[in-house]
């Protein structure tokens, strides 16, 4: 047919998602290999992102990036979810949190430059986080399950 197949490669940031300190994160972000991967990531045409919740059994707690007490404090501040390790409230406003200074990765604002951002999250426990992500305009497409979709439509009314 003469059509060229597009070759897709994956790159991994050679660093933790969240460093132990803001100073270490800043130093790692200066590393040329990390800058190269972040530059590549911000130039993609499609991004698939997960939507997390501030729950004591969340992956971010299991990996040791946050304690259960820190997660409870996030909820008390009105945080409903996170994408790429950046936490936001029900209106989709990114919270001003010290943990964000320890992150190594794309910013949620960088996602605005990606033509198609696909969010993946399901379950009734994720509905508030999904809704916050939609209110923030972080997603172009949502992949979820039927129960979550029905609840999202009910809340949107």
- Rounded average pLDDT over 78-83: 97
Instruction: Give dist(CA 117, CA 83) in Å, integer.
Output: 11
* Model confidence, pTM: 0.88
- Write down the mean pLDDT value for the chain: 91
Report residue 46: phi and psi, to 5°: -135, 140
Q: What is the pLDDT of residues 13-40, one digit of tens each?
A: 777 788 989 999 999 999 999 999 999 9
Q: Is the pLDDT of residue 47 over 80?
A: yes
C-beta of residue 53 within 8 angstroms of C-beta of residue 124: no
Among 153, 29, 135, residue whose Cα is nearest residue 83: 135
Instruction: Give dist(CA 101, CA 86) in Å, integer.
Output: 10
């Amino acid at each position: 047919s003469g059509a060229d197949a597009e070759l897709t490669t994956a790159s991994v940031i050679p660093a933790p998602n969240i460093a132990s300190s803001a100073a270490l994160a800043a130093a790692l972000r200066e590393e040329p290999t990390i800058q190269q991967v972040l530059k590549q990531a911000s130039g993609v045409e499609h991004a698939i992102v997960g939507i997390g919740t501030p729950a004591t059994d969340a992956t971010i707690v299991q990996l040791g990036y946050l304690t259960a007490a820190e997660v409870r404090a996030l909820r008390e501040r009105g945080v409903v979810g996170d994408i790429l390790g950046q936490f936001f409230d029900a209106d989709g406003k990114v919270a001003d949190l010290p943990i964000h200074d320890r992150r190594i990765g794309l910013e949620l604002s960088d996602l605005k430059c990606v033509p198609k951002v696909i969010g993946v999250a399901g379950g009734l426990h994720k509905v508030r986080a999904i809704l916050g992500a939609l209110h923030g305009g972080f997603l172009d497409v949502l992949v979820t399950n039927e129960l979550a979709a029905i609840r999202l439509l009910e809340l949107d009314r």
